[in-house]
Amino acid sequence: MSAISSESLTKVYSDFVNKKLSVTALNDFTINVEQGQIFGLLGPNGAGKTTFIKILLGLVNPTGGRASILGTLLPDVKVRERIGYLPENHRYPGYLTGEQVMLLFGGLSGMNHAETKSRTPSLLKLVGMEQWAKMKVKKYSKGMMQRLGLAQSLINNPDVLFLDEPTDGVDPVGRKEIRDILKRLKSEGKTIFLNSHILSEVELISDRVAILDKGKLLKVGTVDELTVTDTNYEIGFTGSLPENFHHEAAATVMKFRVDKQIISAELKDASELNHLIDMLRRHGIDITHIAKKRTSLEDSFINLIKREVAS
């Protein structure tokens, strides 16, 4: 059973006065997240990431399509007992203490007071907030609020956790701690759905990643699948290249660079790769390895978005 799935999910924010101002936030969005995964949803601002989460949580009504969480077709109030959510720019009542926030949202999750009270200290400890439990939220820093938000999202021991920019405002040490917490939660079998602008972080912890732009799903796959390129190759060789090799290769191959015993080449297709290999072999060069080159998730993301804009 999928933890999260959507089928042709569409959301149009209509402007009834001026139709031209209507915005398609999600366009025929189909995705499937397996249980026990950390899934990262990436996209530039306004891509539709938050809209997707909000549809799943019942905050936004979809215009079309369907979605389900843990096999329950949405909208469904009851399934939210098994969900935790850390929204972006959350606002907790400033007059409450951290502990009281936990009690409030535990109660709203349908838990009884004793149960919430017993879970609160351990969760606050988990996010490093135990010493600030009795302090009023209005005195908290942004990072402390994020930590409290994460603890709050875990109060009902959810099976699926939605985190929208969880490390926003958190210092590097705190980010590492949050990543460790997420890994631990994953090892407990929880599904984590992550929206983040910090691609390097998503790359570090996500099992699968989807890239969304202007409401359209551009690509989905594991981090490896997304970062590997079809056009960039690395060819290892022994010996030295003949003098005329550069000239000869430049005439047929798109772009290439030689660094010590490695040729990095940007090729149009497999025929160019074969051509390059033939050339090397013709000159009696021994090839040690051929590999598709990887880019960082950030480069891959930027390339995808650039291509989308260009098209």
Residues forming the site for other proteins (CB under 8 A): 13, 54, 57-61, 77-81, 83, 85, 87, 89-93, 95-96, 104-105, 107-110, 112, 152, 162
**Nearer residue to other proteins within complex by CB, 83 or 217:** 83
Q: How far is the CB of 230 from other proteins (least distance, A)?
A: 39
**Nearer residue to other proteins within complex by CB, 50 or 227:** 50
Dihedrals φ, ψ of 26, to 5°? -135, 135
> In 188-236, which ranges are continuous DSSP H helix?
199-205, 223-227
Quick check: 128 and 117 in contact, CB under 8 A?
Answer: no
Q: How far is the CB of 61 from other proteins (least distance, A)?
A: 6
Q: How far is the CB of 87 from other proteins (least distance, A)?
A: 4
Distances in Å between the Cα of 121 and the Cα atoms of 102, 115, 182 are 9, 11, 18
For residue 60, give the DSSP letter.
S
- Edge-first strand order for the sheet with 83-86 is 83-86, 160-164, 191-195, 38-42, 208-213, 216-222
Q: How far is the CB of 168 from other proteins (least distance, A)?
A: 12
**Nearer residue to other proteins within complex by CB, 46 or 110:** 110
Q: How far is the CB of 160 from other proteins (least distance, A)?
A: 11
**Nearer residue to other proteins within complex by CB, 65 or 242:** 65
Measure the CA–CA gap between 3 and 160, rounded to whole angstroms: 7
**Nearer residue to other proteins within complex by CB, 12 or 304:** 12
**CA 58 to the chain's CA centroid:** 21
Helix (H, G, I), strand (E, B) or coil at 69: strand
For residue 285, give the DSSP letter.
P
Q: How far is the CB of 192 from other proteins (least distance, A)?
A: 15
**Nearer residue to other proteins within complex by CB, 97 or 167:** 97
**160-164/191-195 β-pairing:** parallel
